[in-house]
Amino acid sequence: MSDTSHILGLPYIQPAQAQKHVTHNEALRVLDALVQLSVEDRDQTAPPATPNSGDRHIVAANASGVWTGQDGSIAVYEDAAWAFYAPQNGWQAVVRAEGTTLIFNGLEWVGSAIDASALQNVGSVGINTTADDVNRLAVSADATLLSHDGSDHRVVVNKDASTDTASLLFQTGYSGRAEMGTAGGDDFSIKVSPDSISWNTALTFDGTTGRAEFPSGAQVPCRVDVGGRFYCYTDNRWVTHNSAYGAQTENVFDNGGTGTEPAVSWENMSALVSQNSCLKTLEVALRSSSTETTGYDLRVYFQTGPWGAGWTSDGGVTRTLVGSVDNATAANGFNRVTVDLGNYEVPADGFVLVFMRPIGTLSDTSYFYTSMFLTYLSSS
């Protein structure tokens, strides 16, 4: 008969042995060290400076000091000294510092393998959060990665019937702000909300034809040329497009007066824009025909009136300043300026008027040769 047990090497009490308690206590000491194995950590290469009796560690590789040569062993502090136990294949240990369970595979300690069958048909899974009866899979993280396993990868959102909903919902503070999918039908739609209560459908695709529609309207980028030869008179008056030809006129000379701002005239006409358009910028490139013209002021207005009744007087006109430039330099050669129109939302069909006046003491009529284009978003 062996003097020790086959698994843990516990000493047996021999027949007629004296001081049996010594052998018995040694076996208890080994059992106390290895049963329900739980260690402090597994990344230390030297013993702690002030260990407590009963502390256990998995000795890390390249250990030093009294732990030298004990890489991978279980180090137990007992009776003011370190005892070491070589692990056997299949031993398990809980590492409390990491909250994980390791298994010794005969060569090293490794993470315990998960039985994949245990994850089949589970009621719910919460990762860093708590799942519930509705959100049976819940993840709280900075990002969620779904990757291919060799080639393609598809995310499938399946619903039971056409009248049900299959969608992706985007929230702020758990309050809905945008949703995309097939909601209550098989047409694909995108809708948005400012408060999770009122929703506006921005875009739909017909499930049969694929035709796109914009139920809430759409804005299309547009550009219209409004340049020309702006007259510079000796009285430094404001001028704008000809009331007979609008933005299509070559010569821009309609009198806007010599006041601080251009005078209002119901007859002024230029580029026509529709209601709900959004004015973006006026891009201006120009050169002066005279060195006497040192600069210029520029105004951009939106002007409208009572279309149904007709415009017959200045009193029926509503004019709004949407962009301006003061004391712009007119140096020799071409000059460039961008006038920000402030994303002005056009309240009704009307005209975008451009006024200019020269700066300088002019002895004769001269000109600003300009190329201008208005950029805006047009409501479809």
Whether this prediction's pTM lies above 0.85 is answered by: no
What's the confidence (pLDDT) of residue 9?
53
- Sorting pLDDT into bands at 50, 70 and 90, what band is 12? low
Between residues 59 and 85, which one has the greater pLDDT?
Answer: 59
> Tens digits of per-residue pLDDT, 231-259?
999 999 999 999 888 888 889 999 999 99
Q: What percent of the chain has pLDDT over 90?
A: 72
Burial (CB < 10 A; 0-12, 13-18, 19+), residue 282, is: buried
Side-chain-side CA neighbours of 329 within 13 Å: the count stands at 5
Q: CB–CB of 57/37 below 8 Å?
A: no
Domain positions in the chain = 36-111, 159-216, 221-379
**Cα distance between residue 376 and residue 272, in whole Å:** 11
The per-residue pLDDT for 114 is 66
Residue 242 and residue 230 in contact, taking contact as beta carbons nearer than 8 Å: no
Residue 255 has what pLDDT? Answer: 96
Residue 38 confidence class, pLDDT cut points 50, 70, 90: confident
Residue 116's pLDDT is 65
The predicted pLDDT at position 17 comes to 63
Count of CA atoms in the C-beta half-sphere (13 A) of 67: 24
**Which pLDDT belongs to residue 249?**
84
Residues facing residue 85 across a β-bridge: 74
Structural contact between residues 326 and 374, judged by C-beta atoms closer than 8 angstroms: no
Residue 170 has pLDDT above 60, yes or no: yes
pLDDT band of 204, cuts 50, 70, 90: very high
Question: Could you write out the DSSP letters of every residue in 103-118?
Answer: EE-SSSEEEPPP-GGG
Residue 261's pLDDT is what?
97
Read off the DSSP letter of residue 301: E
Q: Is the pLDDT of residue 286 over 70?
A: yes
Instruction: Give the pLDDT mean for 322-332.
Output: 95
- Convert the pLDDT of each residue in 98-149 to its tens digit: 888 899 999 999 987 666 666 788 899 999 999 999 999 999 999 999 999 9
Task: Kindly report the average pLDDT of the chain as a whole number.
Answer: 90
Architecture of domain 221-379: Sandwich (2.60)
Rg (CA), the chain: 42
For residue 30, pLDDT beyond 80: no
pLDDT at residue 2 greater than cutoff 70: no
- What mean pLDDT comes out for the span 152-176? 96
